[in-house]
């Protein structure tokens, strides 16, 4: 299941999911709402430690495999940024 779909079904926004992730992290580590947004829209892939936490929080509904198609989406984001800056992607 895509992270975005799970978040919608579970009633989480970026900030609330980030807060839930922080509860599972070692003291002193953090997770930002902007980081969650980047995962949700395919701009970044969560680190393995965060993927494990996401899998636990979602009850196994969001898995590392659900991020497998993100490079294609990330390429689209890179191309859009390149167009804005006038450089080729």
pTM of the model: 0.74
Integer CA distances (angstroms), 60 to 22, 73, 74, 78, in order: 18, 23, 24, 30
pLDDT of residue 67: 84
CB-hemisphere CA count at 13 Å for 88?
0
Domain boundaries, the chain: 3-85
pLDDT in tens, 3-53: 999 999 999 999 999 999 999 999 999 999 999 999 998 889 999 999 999
- Give the residue among 77, 80, 65, 30 at the shortest CA–CA distance from 50: 30
Residue 89 has pLDDT above 60, yes or no: no
């Amino acid at each position: 299941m895509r992270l975005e779909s799970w978040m919608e079904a579970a009633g989480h926004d970026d900030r609330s999911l980030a807060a839930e992730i922080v509860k599972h992290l070692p003291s002193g580590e953090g997770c930002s709402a902007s980081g969650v947004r980047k995962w949700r829209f395919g701009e970044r892939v969560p680190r393995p430690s965060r993927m494990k936490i996401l899998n636990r929080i979602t009850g196994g509904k969001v898995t590392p495999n659900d991020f497998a198609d993100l490079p294609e989406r990330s390429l689209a984001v890179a191309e859009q940024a390149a167009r804005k800056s006038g450089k080729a992607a």
